[in-house]
Chains A and B, each alone.
Chain A
Amino acid sequence: MGDGDTWPLAADRDDPPALSVRRLSKRFGDRVAFEDVSFDVGRGEVFGFLGPNGAGKTTTVRALGTLIAPTSGSATVAGWPLEPENGMEIRRRIAVMPESPGLYLRLSVLENLELFADLYELADPRDRIERSLRAMDLTGRARDACGILSKGLRQRVALARALLGEPEVLFLDEPTAGLDPVAAREVHELIVGLRQRGVTIFLTTHRLEEAERLCDRVAILNTTLRSIGRPDELRDRLFARTLTVRTAAPLDAPDRVFGGLQAIEGWREDGRAHYVLAASDPDGAAPGVTRALVAAGADVLSITESRRSLEDVYLELIDGDVEAGPR
């Protein structure tokens, strides 16, 4: 579904959104790239855009980055309506880091940045370049040809390039794709640093733990928008909250123990001496459950709230699409 009216569109911020997208669609002939997509991204927000390969994530970034024209719908990017005549004004205010860094490998890091400083017509290019290099910890590599840099360093150069124009909105398309864990962690730290500086970040990724860790809100796209919200909101929306109870021995009459508790909406046995209790407020229910178990003479090993990950949410939504057959 892509019904923007039924979902929370905007982050809880008073400023006008950095991105506002309404029923945006893009088709290439008969093929639908994405359809009926609506969302808002607040200023300073890190917004995750998740979805499987071919879901339309990159095409959405390209449409919002004025590289391709949407087939229908509307959007404002950094306060400017997404119209062909506003292309230059929008591009002045955004930066896009594609999945492939797209550096000029025969040129040095400095030469790459000099080119982009001139393309953005920056007033004080030398100062901006130095600041970008410092922010990405690349000062010592400024004279190195990009072709000799590791993949992680190239990503950092691409990020430095993206930061040159001090963009209002930064689109990062799979910024950690193909990076080893150490390089990926470095990119994560850089994104956290950008958020602290108030940069609005639109992050497309396959890595769900990355989105969960970095993003204020996420949207799950599979040609149409499947869900949008904070990661914990999505979990609550899709899955009942539960307490998991483990005891040393099976309870004699679990129904009597759990059935009388008002905070517990239902329960089931999940293996020997292992019980899963549905509770709308697990934190509030836990003390009562503990008291009931002790009163029943049970030896309690653990009472924990079951945490569903964003991956569970993602798989629930995307697997549903797969089961429903080809779109």
Chain B
Amino acid sequence: MRMSGRRIRAVVRKELREYRRHGSVVVATAIFPLIFLIQPLILVFMVPSAGAATLEQWHVLLYMLAIPVLTPAVLAAYAVAGERQQGSLEPVLTTPITTEEFLLGKALSALVPSVGVAYAVYAVFLGCVALFAQPAAAAAVLRPPDIAAQVLLTPLLATFSIWVGIAISTRSSDVRVAQQLCLLADLPVVLVTSLIAFDVIHLTPALGVILIVLPLIADVTGWRIVAPMFDRERLVTGAR
């Protein structure tokens, strides 16, 4: 079936307009990037000169991958449950929009700001480290392979988080419950990236490949899993 770019763009534009005017969404999307920016900054700036060797063992940048995991979760959780809660889902579903167009619009509108915010926060972090950190600490943190991994993994993990979030959102009738469940569901990913960042799980080339391939597979299959979960009848009638 042909997908309409115009309908997808319409959903994205509508979502972005709503996010901007939704105070709790703005706060929620700002709070995780702030937390995961400040912590590594403190870590890098507090480390003594002799401790730079420890930083070399770590992958501090990977710790910040929590941003593209947690930020879109908040947005994706709102995607369907929020529409149901405000009663706007039914009118939209009586238009010619297909389930795929609707979900793709929702996913893109969560992905674009989340990835944008994540990259902006990385830039701020990298800039601060490059300009103000001790040279040894800066050299330990600013490693090209880590930066490349960061750039590559950010959209992959964000997309995964979005599909999880939308899947939960389609099954929840309450936005807050959906958001809590989404954060819970994403915690294992944050745990893994954090353990790798602090070298509890040692990063090897094989693990690196797995870290990229797994989210890629999850992103592709996530789309196929979530679309059938979007049952118009259940969503409109509230039947279980």
The distance in angstroms between the C-alpha atoms of A88 and B1, with both chains bound, is 11
Q: How far is the CA of A59 from the CA of B237 in the complex (A)?
A: 8
B17 contacts across to A, CB distance below 8 A: 106-107, 111
Interface 9-mer from B4-12, B107-115, B126-134, B187-195? B4-12
Report the tally of A-B residue pairs with Cβ distances under 8 A: 85
Chain B residues with CB under 8 Å of A114's CB are: 10
Residues of B within 8 A of A11 (CB): none
Interface pairs A-B: 6 shortest CB-CB: A118-B10, A119-B95, A96-B94, A106-B21, A102-B87, A100-B87
For residues 97 through 138 of chain A, which have their beta carbon under 8 Å from a beta carbon of chain B? 97-98, 100-107, 111, 114-116, 118-121
- Answer whether residue A247 sits at the interface, using C-beta atoms and an 8 A cutoff: no
Contact present for A115 and B94 (CB under 8 Å): no
Taking CB atoms, residues of chain A closer than 8 Å to B237 are: 28, 59, 62, 68
B216 within 8 Å of A by Cβ? Answer: no
State whether B88 touches A120 (Cβ < 8 A). no
CA distance A118 to B13 in the complex (A): 11
Question: C-beta contact mask, B189-229 vs A, less than 8 Å → 1, else 0?
Answer: 00000000000000000000000000000000000000000
Do residues B90 and A67 form an inter-chain contact, with CB atoms below 8 A?
Answer: yes
Interface residues of A in 1-48 (CB under 8 A from B): 28
Complex formed: what's the CA distance from A67 to B17 in Å? 26
Does A286 make an interface contact (CB < 8 A)? no
Binary interface profile of A, 137-167, with partner B (CB < 8 Å = 1, else 0)? 0000000000000000000001001000100
Name the residue on A nearest B21 (C-beta): A106
Report if A91 contacts B (CB, 8 A): yes
Tell me if B233 and A98 are in contact (CB < 8 A): no
Instruction: Return B101 CB to nearest CB of chain A, in Å.
Output: 9
Contact A67-B7, Cβ < 8 Å, known A105-B86, A111-B14:
no
Given contacts A91-B96, A121-B96, A96 and B236 within 8 Å (CB-CB): no
Separation of A94 and B233 alpha carbons in the complex (Å): 18
Report A-chain residues with C-beta under 8 Å of the C-beta of B4: 121
Q: In angstroms, how far is the closest chain B Cβ from the Cβ of A117?
A: 8
Return B142 CB to nearest CB of chain A, in Å. Answer: 41
Most chain A CB within 10 A, of B9, B87, B90, B232, is at B90
Does A69 sit within 8 A of B, measured CB to CB? yes
A102/B88 in contact, CB under 8 A: yes
Task: Find out whether the CB atom of B86 lies under 8 angstroms from the CB atom of A95.
Answer: no
Whether A92 sits at the interface, judged by CB under 8 Å, is: yes
Q: Does B6 lie within 8 Å of A121, measured CB to CB? A: yes
Give the interface size class of chain B: 20 to 34
Contact B86 A120 (CB under 8 A): no
Of all chain B residues, which has the CB nearest A89?
Answer: B96
Partner of B10, one of A100, A105, A115: A115
Checking B87, B95, B233 against A69 with a beta-carbon cut-off of 8 angstroms, the contacting residue is: B233
Please provide the chain B residues from 8 to 26 with a CB less than 8 Å away from any CB of chain A in the complex. 9-11, 13-14, 17-18, 21-22
Q: Are A88 and B98 in contact (CB under 8 A)?
A: yes
Q: How far is A97 from B88 in the complex, measured between Cα atoms in Å?
A: 11
- Does A65 have its Cβ within 8 Å of any Cβ on chain B? yes
Q: 10 extra interchain contacts, Cβ-Cβ under 8 A, other than A68-B236, A98-B91?
A: A67-B94, A88-B96, A94-B94, A102-B90, A106-B17, A111-B14, A111-B17, A118-B10, A119-B10, A165-B95
26 contacts between A and B (CB under 8 A): A62-B237, A65-B94, A67-B90, A67-B94, A68-B236, A88-B96, A88-B98, A100-B87, A102-B86, A102-B87, A104-B86, A104-B88, A106-B17, A107-B17, A111-B14, A111-B17, A115-B10, A115-B11, A116-B95, A119-B10, A119-B92, A120-B96, A121-B4, A121-B6, A121-B96, A161-B91
Shortest B92–chain A CB gap in Å is: 7
* B239 sits at the interface (CB 8 A): yes
Residues of B within 8 A of A105 (CB): 86
Closest Cβ of chain A: how far from B51's Cβ, in Å? 48
Contact A118 B9 (CB under 8 A): yes
Flag if B18 contacts A106 (CB, 8 Å).
yes
Q: How far is the CA of A121 from the CA of B14 in the complex (A)?
A: 15
Task: Check A119 against B96 for contact (C-beta < 8 Å).
Answer: yes
CB distance from A93 to the nearest CB of B (A): 9
Q: Does A107 contact B14, Cβ atoms closer than 8 Å?
A: yes
Residues of chain A within 8 A (CB-CB) of B11 are: 115
Instruction: State whether the Cβ of B184 lies closer than 8 Å to any Cβ in chain A.
Output: no
Whether B90 and A96, one on each chain, are in contact in the complex, defined by CB atoms closer than 8 angstroms, is yes
Does A306 touch B at the CB level, under 8 Å? no
> Which residue of B is nearest A65, CB measured?
B94
- Asked if A74 CB lies within 8 Å of chain B CBs, one says no
Of B7, B90, B91, B236, the most chain A CB neighbours within 10 A belong to: B91
- With a cutoff of 8 Å between Cβ atoms, the chain B residues found around residue A120 in the complex are 95-96
Q: Does B177 contact A (CB under 8 A)?
A: no
Interface positions of B from 93 to 146, Cβ below 8 Å from A? 93-98
A116–B95 Cα gap in the complex (Å)?
A: 8
